[in-house]
Amino acid sequence: MKIAFIIVMAGVITALTIVVRIPIPGTGGYLNLGDMAVVFCGLWIGGWWGALAAGIGSATADLIGGFFIFIPITFIAKGLEGLIAGTLGRKKPVFLIFAVFSMVAVYFLSEIFIPGMGWSAAISELPFNLIQATVGAIGGFTIYKAVSVAFPVNSSQEELKNGTKE
């Protein structure tokens, strides 16, 4: 059950990342809604499982979109974002700020060393990455709260979140 849910969530993350693309002028990057699903996934199914779905889903979007050099970077950045949302963010939503900054930091530090990008590109993408991650954290948390109210956690869902149900 858990693996099926991870696969579904990875697909949702991929779809939300590639369907709505707002190009960032001058950088070749784009804003998307995938971070909402990344944060929701981390909050809903927990740290490591949320990280796995987030990393796979977001990296798959880079593969489909032709951003090959970013695939491993995205896997780490979004996986870490989902992990932090699913661990610290579940305990105290204010800690979602760490998920935001982790994603932004991974991209920033990586872009500095990518041939043809460097400091100038990393700095120019910084505000857009901050906006995307912040909107993703707020949106993902809002969706999580709405889904939690609409579908209160029963024992089966709790087992899925805690990793005691396969």
Q: Which two tokens stand for residue 24?
A: 């960032």
Q: What percent of the chain stands above pLDDT 90?
A: 71
pLDDT at 94 exceeding the cut of 70: yes
Task: Give the model confidence (pLDDT) of 10-58 as tens digits.
Answer: 999 999 999 988 887 766 777 889 999 999 999 999 889 999 999 999 9
Instruction: Please state the pTM of the whole predicted model.
Output: 0.88
Task: Give the model confidence (pLDDT) of 56-77 as tens digits.
Answer: 999 999 999 999 999 999 999 9
- Architecture (CATH level 2) of domain 2-19+34-162: Orthogonal Bundle (1.10)
Question: Could you please report the per-residue DSSP string of the chain?
Answer: -HHHHHHHHHHHHHHHHHHS-EE-TTTS-EE-SHHHHHHHHHHHH-HHHHHHHHHHHHHHHHHHHT-GGGHHHHHHHHHHHHHHHHHHHHH-GGGHHHHHHHHHHHHHHHHHHSTTTHHHHHHHHHHHHHHHHHHHHHHHHHHHHHHHHHS---HHHHHHHHT---
Q: What is the pLDDT of residue 158?
A: 59
Q: What percent of the chain stands above pLDDT 70?
A: 90
Find residue 22's DSSP bridge partners: 31
**For the chain, domain boundaries:** 2-19+34-162
